[in-house]
């Protein structure tokens, strides 16, 4: 019964996605997309970690309560918000969304939701990094609830395939979506804590995960010793950390994926086949990534259009 209720809940979220349209603001705010792109472009010119941050922010938003910009809300009073939950502590570049919102509000006050601005900014982040560009369906609403405790619903880097599959399927996303969206790891940086489990005390018989390339593991162990005290120590997610490409999959199939959740893609025949396909063809990866981003971006749960992305309307 519980699984049926969960399925119906997710289905109701997906149904809300039916209202989305690429032309949603064509009459009410035709310049919105250009304003968001300008804000992302300006921020990226000053800080090349911004695209990875925006893409991750959108993922983290959509996986908790749908794509409702709940990840942008500040903690207030006794409520600790999503952004202050453990998996979200390292999120950054919220100011880019604030700047985009201010620019859009000048053009058309009270029209464009923060959830849509975040979805557009994630698309622009990918495009500006050399990845695909696509039409983003719009019409999301902003949520009024944000709880740090719910951030535990996010897929952790230590999960295995069956755990990942369950989290994705609960949100109406397929195994192919799982593999394609994980390709977002082509951008960005990971702290030691997120892959420490693979390079120290892996299990009773191995100090290092035996599925990891030994030279790669040795390099990681130098950067991240067992009792690492360097707060910002870690590793780039792939060899072209600011370029959106298929290098992530090429490294993954060589045993050079960082997370347990990356390696998990090689433990199931279907996901392993897809990872190999995306490693061989960047075009196939881009096509699948766009479809999966649109599907993920259609999970909704908001009710309003916030005036300020960090605070619910009074």
CA distance 48 to 210: 34
Alpha-helix residue ranges (DSSP H) falling in 63-113: 94-107
Cα–Cα distance measured from residue 117 to residue 306, given in angstroms and rounded to the nearest whole number: 11
Q: How far apart are the first and last CA of the chain?
A: 37
H helices of the chain, in order, are 2-16, 32-46, 50-62, 94-107, 114-128, 161-169, 175-182, 196-199, 214-223, 247-252, 260-263, 269-280, 282-296
Beta bridge partners of 191: 234
DSSP structural state of residue 108: S
For 274, how many CA atoms within 13 A lie in the half-sphere containing its CB? 22
CA–CA gap between residue 91 and residue 206 (Å, rounded): 32
DSSP for 170-230 reads TTT--HHHHHHHHGGGGSSEEEGGGTHHHHSS-SSS-SS-TTS-HHHHHHHHHHS-TT---
**Residue 186 near residue 246 (C-beta atoms within 8 A):** yes
Rounded distance, CA 265 to CA 261, Å?
7
Active site residues: 60
CB-side neighbour CA atoms (13 Å) of 137: 19
Token reading at 283: 């075009």
Torsion over CA: 181, 182, 183, 188 (sign): positive
């Amino acid at each position: 019964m519980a699984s049926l209720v969960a399925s119906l809940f997710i289905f109701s979220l997906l149904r809300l996605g039916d209202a989305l349209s690429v032309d949603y603001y064509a009459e009410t705010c035709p310049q919105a997309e250009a304003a968001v792109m300008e804000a992302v472009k300006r921020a990226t010119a000053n800080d090349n970690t911004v695209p990875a941050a925006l893409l991750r922010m959108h993922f983290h938003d959509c996986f908790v309560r749908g794509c409702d910009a709940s990840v942008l809300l500040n903690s207030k009073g006794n409520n600790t918000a999503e952004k202050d939950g453990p998996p979200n502590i390292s999120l950054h570049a919220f100011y880019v969304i604030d700047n985009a919102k201010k620019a859009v509000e000048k053009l058309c006050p009270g029209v464009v939701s923060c959830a849509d601005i975040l979805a557009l900014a994630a698309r622009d982040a990918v495009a500006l990094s050399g990845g695909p560009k696509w039409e983003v369906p719009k019409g999301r609403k902003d949520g009024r609830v944000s709880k740090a405790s719910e951030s535990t619903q996010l897929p952790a880097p230590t999960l295995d395939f069956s755990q990942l599959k369950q989290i994705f399927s609960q949100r109406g996303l397929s195994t192919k979506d799982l593999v394609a969206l994980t390709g977002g790891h082509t951008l960005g940086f990971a702290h030691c804590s997120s892959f420490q489990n693979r390079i120290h005390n892996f299990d009773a018989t191995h100090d290092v995960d035996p599925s990891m390339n030994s030279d790669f593991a040795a390099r990681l162990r130098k950067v991240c010793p067992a009792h690492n005290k360097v707060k910002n120590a870690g590793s780039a997610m792939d060899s072209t950390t600011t370029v959106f490409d298929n290098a992530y999959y090429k490294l993954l199939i060589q045993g050079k994926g960082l997370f347990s959740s990356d390696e998990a893609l090689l433990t199931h025949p279907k996901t392993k086949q897809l990872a190999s396909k995306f490693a061989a063809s960047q075009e196939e990866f881009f096509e699948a990534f766009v479809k999966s981003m649109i599907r993920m971006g259609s999970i909704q749960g908001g009710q309003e259009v916030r005036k300020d992305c960090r605070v619910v309307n009074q």
